[in-house]
Each structure stands twice: as C-alpha cells, then as structure tokens.
Amino acid sequence: MPRNPFQFLEVSRADPEKRPVGERIRDFNEIYGQFDADTAAAQAGRCLDCGNPYCEWKCPVHNYIPNWLKLIEEGRLLEAAELSHRTNTLPEICGRICPQDRLCEGDCTLNDGLGAVSIGSIEKYITDEALKLGWRPDLSDVEPTGRRVAVVGAGPAGLGCADVLVRNGIEAVVYDRYPRIGGLLSYGIPNFKLDKAVVENRRTLCESMGIRFVLDTEVGRDIGMDDLLEEYDAVFMGLGAYRAVRGQLPNEDADGVVPALAYLVGRANEQLDTDAVGGMSVDVSGERVVVLGGGDTAMDCNRTAIRQGARAVTCVYRRDAENMPGSRREVKNARDEGVIFRYNRQPVGIEIDGERVVGVRVLETRLGEPDERGRRRPETVAGTDEIIPADRVIVAFGFNAEPAAWYEDQAIAHYEDGRTLVATSGEYPFQTSNARIFAGGDMVRGADLVVTAVFEGRQAAESIVRFLRAGADAGADARAVAGR
C-alpha cells in the first residue's frame, strides 16, 4: 500500500497502555505494556520523514530513527532490529528509560502541538519482539584480529564498549564486582521502570555475540589492573559514579537516614537474591518517608517507598517543578502514585529524638540568578522554617566519581575538583593519561544517563580499535625496517 503522508493528522499519538495506579503500586512490575504490530506500524507511520531529522541529532547515540520507523511501518521487524543495533547497544533499555521528552521526542517536528512520534516505545518494541522471534545480531562478516581488551564495569558504558569491540573482531572480556551485569540497570533503577529479565536477556544476547563476563570480581581487590594490562592489549574502564553527595545537614547520619543508592541496591538484592556491595535492606512500610532531591534517583526512591507500603511519601526539592532535573514522565508517575511534592523547600537539618530521625527542617526558597549550568539558584527566605515530620529520610542529592587508590600506580589522572572525574585527555577520544587505558560513562562525564554512557563506551571502543591498529601498523613498519 502506498505511504499515507498525512498519517500524522489521521492517527493521534498513542503510548502503550499504562497499568492503573491502584494495581501497579501493589507490585514492582513494569507499568507500561507493549504495542501490538498494527499499532506499532500505525504509530511509526506518523513520522514525517522530515529530511533533517532533529530527533536523530538530539538522540545521544544518533539512532537512525526515521529509517527504523519506516521499516516498522512496513512490518520489517528483523531488519529494524539489525539497524537499531548499529547505533545503540541497549535499544530496548533506552526505549524504556530514556527521558524521551528531553531527547528524541522533545525534538520531533510533530511535538509542536500534534504529539511527537512515540519513538521510545517503538524502539523498545523492535528489540523485545525481535528477540522473541530468536533474532540475534549478525556478526558473520567479523574477522577476528587476535586482539584482546579487558572491560572493567558491566554497566551501560562497559556494555557499549564491548559491543563495538566484538563487532571489530576484538575479544572483549568484561569484569564486574557485582554478581549481575548492568551496573545501575540492575542495582539502581527499580524493576517497575526496567524489568531485570530484560537485563538478563541482554546478557544472553551479549554472550551470543562472544562477549565474556567475569562477575563478582572487583578490579583492585580480586584482580589487579597490572594483571589486566599484562594479559590484554588495552583496558576500558566504565566504573560509574558511586560517591553520594552529602547535604552537610546537621544529624545527617542519624538512625533512620538512608543514602538513596543503599536503599535501592538493598531492594535490588532482595529481588535478585544477590548480595551486591553497598546495599541496605530497608523496609519503610507504615512509615512517613521524606525523600530529599528532585532527580531520577529521588523519583525511584519515592516510588519504591510507595510500593513498600509507606504511610506517606513526601519529596522535598529546593527548586520548582519546572526546574526539576529528572524525567517529567517519571515525576508525573510519582505524583499519580501518591507522592506529595514540596517544591521550593531547602532542607537545612535533620530533626532527631535521641538517636532517631523525627523530621526534616526546611526553609522556603525563591529562585535567583542562573548558575553556571543555566539553572536558577535557589535562595532561602529567612523566617520560613518548617519541620516536615518523618520516620525515615532518604537522601538523593546525586553522585560523584570515586578515584580508586590504584589510579596513581597506573598514572591515571583525575580532576581534583569535587566531582573527581577521570580525565580523558589522551591523543584518542576517551583515552586516559595512561595510553593503554580508556574510560567513559558516569566516571568521565559525571552522573548522567544510560544512553550517554552507552555512547561514550561505544566511542571509546572506536578509539581502542584505532589505537590498536596504529600500534600494529607501527609494529609492522618496524619489522619491515628491520627486515623481518
């Protein structure tokens, strides 16, 4: 059938069905359903194919969005899956948890009143459905190079790197201190946003591509970076950013105050029946919970607390709703699920009775001049003290990178400011000050997004390929000069 160029007028934007609030807050299962093939095709057919695809530019991995939308419109699912994997290592995961409203869909031409194409849901549909049909990436034309690279960290950055390495004929062995792959995909982001079975399916897929995982193995403790440099041609580090930002609040270490990631890792351990480091088993059922912060981590804590049966969950944020850093979709989901938002409130202290938390002292704020990142600074208003009662306080102020003691032995430089990010100022993009070590993801750009970590891992792999090739060429030249 010929393409209908006016489909965007005749078919409204649709999203996969969302489970009703009363049902979904009683379990930890994903809240969105899946398109069927006809709906996916009809939604994909809304794409204008506008010539200069702003969505593609805005997508951090520059997915070939209009091209795979067209394939889905034509029912060519397996070709769409192959194409979608050319640019993205984790398309079914990004389709679920990218903040599309700020990325691809935010820049869709139709977003100007007609409703953006539901790009994320179609991206998820493509891989989920192709995998059900037994699809696997086609690596039949890959020529082994005999080169080997160790990837440290099985999070999005590490997986992105390993994917591109094996597609270039380089053996990739991925080490992680956790018992499951995925990094924060498994041990941060809750199941109701990303089912852990999806991450396990990805592991199977990676292994089918020849990627090998060595889990429960911490580099620097169970195996040295020296050993890796000896055994492999190069190393990629995607270690993430795990040092929690503290609020410097009086009584921040009181009984009942919990760091956000410890809470979420604890919950993931219970669910996965693992014992990943850094988790705390905390049950907030029946408690009044106050979550401090306004990003994705805070939203995940809010919604986890709701599902654990908290009596009330209040989210305290120092700016207004407009200036929240997290995904708007997740803020809306949190609100629908019963989270109470207290905007323009700056926490200034934890109130205790004996050793135990009983509340959070806050001051009202108003927004002042923009900071260096363009976000307006909150300024506290004197005389507006208020205590929000709490049995439990969860602190979600963000994360910084944590340089390991062994960086110095390997001459890996990092910035000395508060974020202590690893410097990738080598000759090749994402090369550290040690020429054989590359790095990317949260430990290099600061805590950010899955899709940006995937992008950096992939880019680093491209650099490693060029670096190893240059080394091989130099070796061949030297052998030619020596007459060997």
- Fill in the amino acid letter for 341: F
Rounded least distance, CB 19 to ligand FAD, Å = 18
Rounded least distance, CB 49 to ligand FAD, Å = 27
Q: What does residue 19 show for φ and ψ, rounded to 5 degrees? A: -65, 145
Local structure of residue 117 (DSSP, 8 states): -
Q: Which is nearer to ligand FAD, 70 or 124 (CB)?
A: 124
Based on the shown chain and the rule CB under 6 A, indicate whether residue 119 belongs to the binding site for ligand SF4: yes
Based on the shown chain and the rule CB under 6 A, indicate whether residue 442 belongs to the binding site for ligand FAD: yes
Q: Which is nearer to ligand FAD, 41 or 443 (CB)?
A: 443
Based on the shown chain and the rule CB under 6 A, indicate whether residue 452 belongs to the binding site for ligand SF4: no
Rounded least distance, CB 323 to ligand SF4, Å = 21
Q: What does residue 409 show for φ and ψ, rounded to 5 degrees? A: -60, -30
Residue number of the CB closest to ligand FAD reads 155
Based on the shown chain and the rule CB under 6 A, indicate whether residue 330 belongs to the binding site for ligand SF4: no
Does an H or E element contain 437, and which? strand 437-439
Based on the shown chain and the rule CB under 6 A, indicate whether residue 266 belongs to the binding site for ligand FAD: no
Based on the shown chain and the rule CB under 6 A, indicate whether residue 325 belongs to the binding site for ligand FAD: no
Question: Which stretch in 56-64, 359-367, 375-383, 442-450 sits in contact with ligand FAD by CB under 6 A?
Answer: 442-450
**Separation of alpha carbons 310 and 291, rounded Å:** 12
Contacts of 253 (CB under 8 A, 6+ apart): none
Residue of 475, 469, 467, 473 whose CA lies nearest to 438: 467
Based on the shown chain and the rule CB under 6 A, indicate whether residue 120 belongs to the binding site for ligand SF4: yes
Residue of 442, 443, 460 whose CA lies nearest to 451: 442
Lookup result for tokens 């091209």: 67
- DSSP output for 328-382: HHHHHHHHHTTPEEE-SEEEEEEEEETTEEEEEEEEEEEEEEE-TTSPEEEEE-T
Which of 40, 41, 44, 59: binder of ligand SF4 (CB under 6 A)? 59
* Sheet with 171-175: strands ordered across: 212-214, 171-175, 148-152, 234-237, 437-439
- Quick check: 264 and 301 in contact, CB under 8 A? yes
Lookup result for tokens 């709703």: 321
Based on the shown chain and the rule CB under 6 A, indicate whether residue 117 belongs to the binding site for ligand SF4: no
Rounded least distance, CB 94 to ligand SF4, Å = 4
Local structure of residue 75 (DSSP, 8 states): T
Contacts of 58 (CB under 8 A, 6+ apart): 103, 104, 106, 107
How many chain residues bind ligand SF4 (CB under 6 A)? 15
Lookup result for tokens 């503290």: 246
Binding track over 87-106 against ligand FAD, x by CB under 6 A: ----------xx--------
Based on the shown chain and the rule CB under 6 A, indicate whether residue 95 belongs to the binding site for ligand SF4: yes
Does an H or E element contain 140, and which? none
Q: Which is nearer to ligand FAD, 50 or 411 (CB)?
A: 411
Which of 43, 63, 424, 452: binder of ligand SF4 (CB under 6 A)? 63
- Fill in the amino acid letter for 124: K
**Separation of alpha carbons 260 and 6, rounded Å:** 47
103 binds, among ligand FAD, ligand SF4, none (CB under 5 to 8 A by kind): ligand SF4
176-195 residues in contact with ligand FAD (CB under 6 A) are 176-178, 183-184, 188-189, 193
Which of 119, 362, 449, 468: binder of ligand FAD (CB under 6 A)? 449
Residue of 58, 69, 52 whose CA lies nearest to 8: 69
Q: Which is nearer to ligand SF4, 269 or 452 (CB)?
A: 452
User: 379 forms bridges with which residues in the sheet?
Assistant: 366
Which of 104, 116, 185, 289: binder of ligand SF4 (CB under 6 A)? 104
**Separation of alpha carbons 16 and 118, rounded Å:** 9
410 binds, among ligand SF4, ligand FAD, none (CB under 5 to 8 A by kind): none
Based on the shown chain and the rule CB under 6 A, indicate whether residue 279 belongs to the binding site for ligand FAD: no
Q: Which is nearer to ligand SF4, 118 or 410 (CB)?
A: 118
How many chain residues bind ligand FAD (CB under 6 A)? 37
152 binds, among ligand SF4, ligand FAD, none (CB under 5 to 8 A by kind): ligand FAD
Q: What does residue 173 show for φ and ψ, rounded to 5 degrees? A: -115, 120
Q: Where are the beta strands (DSSP E) in 74-218?
A: 148-152, 171-175, 212-214
- Fill in the amino acid letter for 422: V
Based on the shown chain and the rule CB under 6 A, indicate whether residue 451 belongs to the binding site for ligand SF4: yes
Which of 84, 87, 121, 297: binder of ligand FAD (CB under 6 A)? 297
Residue of 229, 198, 211, 196 whose CA lies nearest to 158: 211
175 binds, among ligand SF4, ligand FAD, none (CB under 5 to 8 A by kind): ligand FAD
Contacting positions for ligand SF4 (CB under 6 A): 59, 61, 63, 65, 88, 94-95, 98, 100, 103-104, 119-120, 123, 451
Site residues (vs ligand FAD, CB under 6 A):
97-98, 152-158, 175-178, 183-184, 188-189, 193, 218-220, 238-240, 261, 264, 296-297, 300, 441-442, 447-451, 453
